[in-house]
Amino acid sequence: MDALREFETPTEDSWKKLISKSLKINDLTEFQAKAVHGLKINPFHFPKPEDSSNNPLQSGDSNWKIGINLGESANNQNIISLLKNGVESIGLSANVASNLPKLLDGVYSDMIYHDFTFVDDSDSDIEQILQYFKASDVSNSMLMAGMNLTVNGVIDHQEEIQAFSRVHFLTAKSKANNFVESLASMCAQIHGYLKLVALSKINVSQIRAEVKVSHHLPTNVSMMRALRVLWANLLSLHEIDFHPLFVKALIVKETSHDDDMALIANTNAIINSILGTANLIHVDAGSNDINMSRLNSNIQHILKMESRTEHIADPLAGSYSIESMTKELAKEAWENFKNHIV
């Protein structure tokens, strides 16, 4: 150990000169950084004290829920099979609302997180889902679910909605491939939702965010972490007491991938979602094959059993590069958001 202490800590200038020499360039500024999803990746990051956070981001619960998207192709047999295999959340289209009693026959509603996707605010679909919840043997306060209602849909069903404290009725979604624009768009959506909170139309705990996550680790993890920073900024802007944001990570199979390639890409995306502090990870296998859905859920089970990351609040807190990119993304997205609301 004493021998190690003999090495001098390099200065930033000497560090840059050594890298420039290795790359055979005159100066590190000549290096062309690669941009992914609108974010420049700097592979040479000299650590500074301000780039490392002493406090992990607050996500509420590090033990994420394992989810599978079935959409309109769902049937009771497949749902029961996946739940027996340890899946904790099933993604369904709201179009199946009229068939919920048969579709979820034998399912203990307080044991899973229901996830419904609305194409539009169909009053009949909303009422049928709420009626299914009310008819269950579970207390309203114990039911867990997520939906993507519009602001008008929430206002129209305000009295019924307030009874379900653990159901996320409003979902801010990423709508652009560029991460800065995507985060700014979600800020604008959440900004509108928090206005409803101020008017006592909905509780802050009934808001969530949904982000599409892909295989590139630095950008995807930084994007998800930046979202939590922006959430805290928005709560402060509206003078609302802090409450952790529930984040759903959605992983969709790329059309160019066959099933084998999709499993590899999905594994990378799942790891990124975990490192990015997701509360719910939903994989859309892009196939009606129940075996593919089971394989995608097993990936998450293995990661829980072998990596134990569900016990870590913010796995990459303190990583100089990730912290730096998180702050850069959050800063640019916040400026973009403010320019749009002025």
pLDDT mean over 153-182 = 89
Contacting residues for 305 by C-beta, under 8 A, at least 6 apart:
none
Backbone angles phi, psi at 215, to 5 degrees: -85, -15
Q: Which two tokens stand for residue 23?
A: 């790359």
Look at 38 and 200; give whichever has higher pLDDT.
200
Note whether residue 11 is domain-resident. Answer: no
Q: In what order do the strands lie in the sheet with 280-284?
A: 167-168, 144-146, 113-117, 89-93, 65-71, 280-284, 246-252, 207-212, 170-173
Per-residue pLDDT at 70: 86
* Range with top average pLDDT, 46-50, 174-178, 311-315: 311-315
Note whether residue 189 is domain-resident. Answer: yes
Note whether residue 101 is domain-resident. Answer: yes
Q: Which two tokens stand for residue 45?
A: 């990051």
Report the predicted TM-score, pTM, of the whole model to 2 decimal places. 0.89
CB 150 within 8 A of CB 122: no
Q: Which two tokens stand for residue 94?
A: 């709201």
| pLDDT averaged over every residue in the chain | 86
Sign of the CA dihedral 118, 71, 305, 319?
A: negative
Look at 323 and 122; give whichever has higher pLDDT.
323
Note whether residue 37 is domain-resident. Answer: no
At residue 262 the predicted structure's pLDDT band, cuts being 50, 70 and 90, is confident
Q: Cα–Cα distance between 47 and 327 in angstroms, integer? A: 14
At residue 26 the predicted structure's pLDDT band, cuts being 50, 70 and 90, is confident
Note whether residue 55 is domain-resident. Answer: no
Distances, alpha carbon 252 to alpha carbons 16, 218, 264, in Å = 40, 19, 13
pLDDT digits (tens, 9 = 90+) for 99-156: 888 888 888 888 899 998 887 667 778 888 888 888 877 777 788 999 998 898 899 8
Per-residue pLDDT at 190: 97
Note whether residue 46 is domain-resident. Answer: no
Per-residue pLDDT at 107: 87
CATH number, domain at 274? 3.20.20.240
Note whether residue 23 is domain-resident. Answer: no
CB 301 within 8 A of CB 66: yes
Note whether residue 24 is domain-resident. Answer: no
**What is the tally of structural domains in the chain?**
1
pLDDT mean over 214-226 = 93
Instruction: List the domain range (segments joined by +) for residue 327.
Output: 65-341
- Taking 90 as the threshold, does the pLDDT of residue 286 lie above it? no
Strand pairing of 34-36 and 39-41?
antiparallel
